Amino acid sequence: MLNCRDDILTYTKQLVSIESIVNTAGESTIAHSLFQIISSLPYFLNNPGSVAIEKTNNDDQERYNVMAFVKGKKGNSNRTIILMGHIDTVGIDDFNQLKEHACSPDDLMEALKKENLPTSAKEHLESGDWLFGRGVLDMKSGVASNLYLLKYYSEHPEELDGNILLLAECDEEDGSHGVLSALKTLKKWKKEHGFEYVAAINSDFVSPRFEGDENRYIYKGTVGKLLPSFFITGAETHVGSAFEGLDPNFIAAELTKQINYNPELCNEAYGETTVPPVSLKQTDLKPSYTVQTALSAYVYYNFFIHSWSPKDVLIKLKEQAMIAFTNALTTFEERYRKYSEISGEPFVDVPWKPRVFTYEEMENLLIEENGNSFIVHMNEFKQNLLTNTELDTRMFAARVVEEAWKWMKDKNPAIILFYSSLYSPRIEMTGKTTDELNLINALDKAVATIQPEYPHPIVTRNFFPYISDMSFMALSDDEDGINAVSKNNPGWGTKHYVEFQDIRDINVPVINIGPYGLDAHKKLERMEMTYSLEVVPNITNLVIQNLLTNEEKSL
């Protein structure tokens, strides 16, 4: 067993002390600091080509990944394990009056003693086995654990029959520019050094799944995440003549009622079920106040998947949108009739029918109707729109749909369904390949070795339940699934693009062994030190040894 608690705690505090909020200059600062730490180790002083700091590709921000590898000397194997973790954090505004202490765990914990805390947080603060602060859980203690293992094997390469490679990536909390850029370097090093990537071990945080859950989870594979979005058009009218038009906000409200928290949209696989979709934005697109109803509305939802593809999700949500649109028109007509009865004004038949298009369907229709002039116009429009740096990928996509809609000959109310943000692919890791089977066996053996030394159950599950950079180490989707993303994202190729082939070229099975704690992304973010600083690195190390030492098993 590695006696690593104190060293990893020191690394954790060192990394936490650097404020590295996503999309700020701190991401660059922490990368350069980490690069200096690694570069100063004797192994890397003697092998400077084994460590790199690299700026991200196609990124508006200046930020960097840090990557390093140690080649083992126990044998001649080129089998290589990737240890990965992100170095950015979410913001610290939620710390309020304690903001100045957010990245100083010792100072923060002293200040928290004077605060009125929930019972569990108070007990943890007094226990001496919990560390508080922004990034201690998500996920700088995980990076610190990987850094310790890199240092250990740099000092003991004779214990390593193969190689380990550390990837400390930026921008996990937003657009994953870090890991997507790192894929290029992983491919380059694979060619230059003959690395055979057999596993990736992520070190993102884990938490209880419910109140009273004492399990510490390790995950094989990961949930996928999509952002299905809906551009909704209505029929404009003056509010004094409300029933002469159709408010798109009314349809949007019905759509959210239909989709939000809907168990039919939970994806079960291998006995595990995703949480249902929930809306992350709902608005109309009126630029300012008028007494006219809005021309259009925009809403998007978080959507997790285990086994469904992005194409499956479009099919399911198109059905849900048709139901919502039909219900909205039914309610509209019922209320119009009731209003006519009490007002004495005549009822006029409602002229609209529910219409739902995917963006791909609408684009194909517009190309068919307008030919090359539409294509040229939209390409120019998107290039010009790129100059508006205030638009994120989601609003950029909405503006593209809004512009394309202007070309529709039939402008009766409709719903346009599309994707407006990064797709974090799902990964099913079930032992279907030799590498997967070997990794699962190595993990099971490691847990069995460590469990007697730790009082809480260490439990493995199939899908990491949070969004993470694990998603970009392998693909479980076929080409149809990926095409559903690229052909239905209006910003694809301009504001947003992912080289999915890079992922396929790496395509390594991935698990998550990460620190345990509570309240990630909140003021009381904290991690349990015994599990995070002792159990996590030792299980990870045993997986490395089990995977690289044992002869490769075949299916």
Q: How many CB atoms lie within 10 A of CB 311?
A: 19
Q: Name the one residue in this structure whose structure tokens are 């346009």.
A: 416
Can you read off the two tokens belonging to residue 423? 């797709």
> CA-based angle 448:453:455, to the nearest 5?
100
Can you read off the two tokens belonging to residue 28? 């660059």
Helix (H, G, I), strand (E, B) or coil at 475: coil
Bond prior to 529 in cis (omega within 30° of 0): no
* Strand residues in 47-183 grouped as ranges (E): 51-55, 64-71, 79-86, 130-132, 163-169
Residue 186 burial by CB count (10 A; 0-12/13-18/19+): exposed, middle or buried? buried
Q: List the chain pLDDT tens, one digit each, 555 residues.
A: 899 999 999 999 999 999 999 999 999 999 999 999 999 999 999 999 999 999 999 888 999 999 999 999 999 999 999 999 999 999 999 999 999 999 999 999 999 999 999 999 999 999 999 999 999 999 999 999 999 999 999 999 999 999 999 999 999 999 899 999 999 999 999 999 999 999 999 999 999 999 999 999 999 999 999 999 999 999 988 888 889 999 999 999 999 999 999 999 999 999 999 999 999 999 999 888 888 888 999 999 999 999 999 999 999 999 999 999 999 999 999 999 999 999 999 999 999 999 999 999 999 999 999 999 999 999 999 999 999 989 999 999 999 999 999 999 999 999 999 999 999 999 999 899 999 999 999 999 999 999 999 999 999 999 999 999 999 999 999 999 999 999 999 999 999 999 999 999 999 999 999 999 999 999 999 999 999 999 999 999 999 999 998 655 444
CA distance 523 to 99: 9
Contacts for 296 with CB less than 8 Å, ≥ 6 apart: 231, 232, 233, 234, 248, 284, 285, 402, 405
Contacts for 232 with CB less than 8 Å, ≥ 6 apart: 248, 251, 252, 255, 296, 297, 298, 299, 413, 414, 415, 416
Q: Name the one residue in this structure whose structure tokens are 């590295």.
A: 20
- Count the alpha carbons within 13 Å of 25 in the hemisphere toward its beta carbon: 0
CA distance 205 to 242: 51
CA distance 293 to 296: 9
Query: Measuring CA to CA, which residue among 15, 22, 20 is closest to residue 60?
Result: 22
**Average pLDDT of the chain?**
96
Q: How far from 81 is each of 36, 175, 435, 439, CA to CA, in Å?
A: 23, 25, 11, 10
Can you read off the two tokens belonging to residue 531? 């599990």
> CA-based angle 415:275:425, to the nearest 5?
75
Query: Measuring CA to CA, which residue among 315, 271, 267 is closest to residue 460?
Result: 271
* Strand residues in 374-439 grouped as ranges (E): 414-419
- What sections of 59-140 are H helices per DSSP? 105-112, 119-127
How far does Cα 250 stand from its chain's mean position?
Answer: 31
Q: Using an 8 Å Cβ cutoff, are 186 and 506 in contact?
A: yes
DSSP characters for 490-553? TTBTTTB---HHHHHHH---EEE---BEE-TTSTT-EEEHHIIIIIHHHHHHHHHHHHHHSPPP
Helix (H) or strand (E) holding 297: strand 296-305
Q: What would the pLDDT profile of 159-210 be if each residue is shown by its tens digit?
A: 999 999 999 999 999 989 999 999 999 999 999 999 999 999 999 999 999 9
Q: What is the dihedral of CA 244, 248, 251, 252, to 10 degrees?
A: -160
In sequence order, the β-bridge partners of residue 417 are 230, 358
- Residue 367 has a pLDDT of 97
CA distance 79 to 69: 12
Contacts for 474 with CB less than 8 Å, ≥ 6 apart: 425, 427, 429, 503, 506, 507, 508, 509, 510
